[in-house]
Each structure stands twice: as C-alpha cells, then as structure tokens.
C-alpha cells in the first residue's frame, strides 16, 4: 500500500539507509545505482499481506488448530477505532487462513467478524451484499474464496487511501502481519515441521524492520505502545542469523523471466525462538484482549 503517514521524511530516510550501505558495500554499488535509488522520492515499505501470510503457513505443511485464532464473537469488545482496525487486520489473516486451509464454516464466521469491524470503522463499499453472496456461493472453492478475501483486503486498502486514513490502514496491516506470526509460533508440531516453521518466522526479520519503519513514519501516539513492544522484538530478532548465499541472476528474454537464484540459511537457537514466541504471543494478546 502506497499510503504515507508523513511523506516529507521519506527521502531523508532512504538517503541515510543508502549512505550506510555505501560504507558497508562500497565495492558492489555503482554511483549511478545509488543516484537512482536516492532519487526515488516516494519510498514504501511493505509487509506480506494476510493472503501471503496464510500461504507461508500453508508451505510449512503443519496441521493447524482453528481454536488458536481470534474469537469471531469478540467484536463487541473492540470499542476504539484503533483497536477495531488492529483486529480487522487480525480477522483478515484468520479469514485468509481458514479459507486456504478449507475451514469453510469458520471462514464464514471470520468474514462476518471482518464485516462488523469494517462497518464500525465506516469503511464503505467493501463487504457488500454482493461480496457476501459470492463468498457463500464459493464456500467450497478454496481458490475462489482466497481470491475474494484478497480483493476485499485490497478494496479496504483503496478506500482508506482515498479517504486519507493512514493510521487505520497501518493498524490493519500491523494486526494482520502479527496474527500470521502468532499462528506460526502457536503450533505444536514435530521437530522437522518445527524447523520449517522457524525458518519461515526467521525469514520475516526484514518485514519486522519494515513494520517498525512504517509505524514510526506515522508519528501517531496510538502506535507508541506497540512500537515499544516491536522494538523489543527487533532486539530479540537480532540473534536470528540470516546467512544468504550470493544471488545468481539468469535472464531468459524469450520467456520474459529472470531467475534470481541463491539460498538462505536461517539460524535461530532455542533460547531465541522461545523468547520470540513469548513476545509474539504477548503482543498479539495485547491486540485481541
């Protein structure tokens, strides 16, 4: 989403980022490339959407329990717009998750919860009767269902962009991403699946940095408490080592495709994973309770 909270600071932020990169990787960056990157006047940090978070969870091939998700009947307990927005994000991820994992009945309940939150936030034209009907008609068609979820998330985002409500948009984004991590760390699995899940969690380290930047950019006091917790999580994630192998770039012009090869090893020790887990659970519960 290209919805900025505070537009003027972005160029400065990118410039300082790039400057530190120059010091570290002087030999591989040409002056021309740096100039092009510096000239980008609008810089946007993104996070995986609820649809992508559900897809990441699907890749782990773990068996999930719907009871770890948020209670769809808890909607009445969220009385401020900020809390509603965070939980709309949570419900979007729960909805994506239940849609992708074939929990059709539960998906309907989460769609209802998301609709209620959306109405309370006065987000118009998203959860329309037509959309709700399409969901009912496609309840047993996983692919169609997840496409509808993706499109309602997109329409919510567009509405908030057009109506200049960046704080609500960012709160939804934060809630959705944190719920995805919460689902991942809340599973009881065998050790092989656990390694797979923690690899996925570790891969989210750059996204965590992006989330902090996004919320800092908002300069809104409602994010203060969340930012304190997220910065603490960033500190814990510092112990997660991402060991990247060099990228091999191979382009096939005829098929309009480029292979960006390479490999990534994620190294997390038990103490760090336990700490990450307890911090994420506490963070998520502070949103939903």
Residues near other proteins (CB under 8 A) are: 1-2, 14, 18, 21, 25, 28-29, 33-34, 36-37, 39-52, 55-56, 59, 146-147, 150-151, 153-154, 157-158, 161-162, 203-204, 206-207, 210, 244-245, 247-249, 251, 253, 255-264
Q: How far apart are CB 57 and other proteins at their closest, in Å?
A: 12
Q: What b/e string do you get for 155-164 counting C-beta neighbours within 10 Å, with b at 16 or more?
A: bbbebbeeee
Question: Smallest distance from the beta carbon of 110 to other proteins, in angstroms?
Answer: 15
Residue among 152, 112, 155, 110 at smallest CA distance from 131: 152
Nearer to other proteins, 23 or 79 (CB): 23
- Cα 207 to Cα 148, 177, 200, 212, 214: the distances in Å are 25, 9, 12, 9, 10
Report in angstroms the alpha-carbon separations of 216 from 16, 62, 87, 104, 219. Answer: 15, 34, 20, 37, 5
Task: Quote the radius of gyration of the chain (alpha carbons, Å).
Answer: 20
Q: How far is the CB of 264 from other proteins (least distance, A)?
A: 4
The DSSP symbol for 139 reads T
Give the residue with the Cβ less far from other proteins, 70 or 152.
152
> Smallest gap, in angstroms, from Cβ of residue 188 to other proteins?
25
CB closer to other proteins, 21 vs 119? 21
Between 189 and 210, CB nearer to other proteins: 210
> Measured from the CB atom, is 33 or 124 closer to other proteins?
33
Q: How far is the CB of 243 from other proteins (least distance, A)?
A: 10
| CA angle (226 as vertex; 165, 97 as ends), nearest 5 | 75
| Closer residue to other proteins in complex, CB, 7/77 | 7
How far from 182 is each of 54, 71, 288, CA to CA, in Å? Answer: 12, 14, 12
Choice between 72 and 150, CB closer to other proteins: 150
Instruction: Report, in Å, the least distance between residue 91 CB and other proteins.
Output: 14
What residues are paired with 242 via a beta bridge?
266
The Cα 75–Cα 221 span in angstroms is 23
Name the minimum Å distance from CB 164 to other proteins. Answer: 10
* Identity of the residue, 39 or 80, whose beta carbon is nearer to other proteins in the bound complex: 39
Write b or e for each residue in 223-254: b if 16 or more Cβ atoms lie within 10 A of its Cβ, otherwise e.
Answer: beebbeebeebeebbeebeeeeeeeeeeeeee
**Cβ of residue 154: shortest distance to other proteins, in angstroms?**
5
């Amino acid at each position: 989403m290209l919805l900025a909270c505070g537009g003027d600071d972005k160029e400065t932020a990118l410039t300082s980022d790039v400057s530190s990169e120059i010091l570290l990787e002087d030999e591989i960056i040409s002056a021309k490339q740096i100039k092009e990157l510096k000239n980008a006047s609008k810089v946007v940090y993104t996070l995986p959407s609820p649809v992508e978070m559900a897809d990441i969870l699907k890749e782990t091939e773990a068996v999930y329990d719907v009871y770890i998700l948020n209670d769809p009947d808890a909607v009445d307990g969220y009385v401020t717009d900020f809390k509603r927005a965070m939980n709309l994000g949570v419900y979007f991820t729960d909805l994506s998750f239940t849609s992708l994992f074939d929990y059709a009945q539960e998906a309907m309940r989460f769609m209802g919860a998301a609709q209620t939150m959306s109405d309370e936030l006065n987000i118009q034209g998203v959860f329309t009767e037509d959309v709700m009907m399409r969901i009912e008609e496609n309840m047993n068609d996983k692919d169609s269902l997840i496409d509808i979820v993706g499109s309602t998330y997109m329409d919510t985002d567009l509405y908030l962009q057009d109506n200049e409500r960046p704080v609500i948009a960012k709160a939804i984004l934060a809630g959705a991403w944190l719920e995805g991590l919460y689902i991942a760390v809340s599973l009881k699995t065998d050790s092989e699946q656990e390694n797979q899940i923690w690899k996925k969690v570790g891969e989210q380290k750059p996204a965590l940095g992006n989330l902090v930047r996004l919320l800092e950019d908002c300069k809104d006091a409602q994010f203060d408490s969340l930012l304190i917790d997220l910065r603490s999580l960033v500190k814990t994630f510092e112990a997660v080592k991402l060991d990247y192998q060099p990228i091999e770039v191979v382009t096939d012009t005829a098929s309009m495709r480029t292979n960006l090869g390479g490999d990534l090893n994620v190294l997390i020790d038990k103490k760090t994973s336990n700490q990450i887990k307890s911090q994420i659970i506490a963070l998520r519960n502070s949103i939903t309770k």
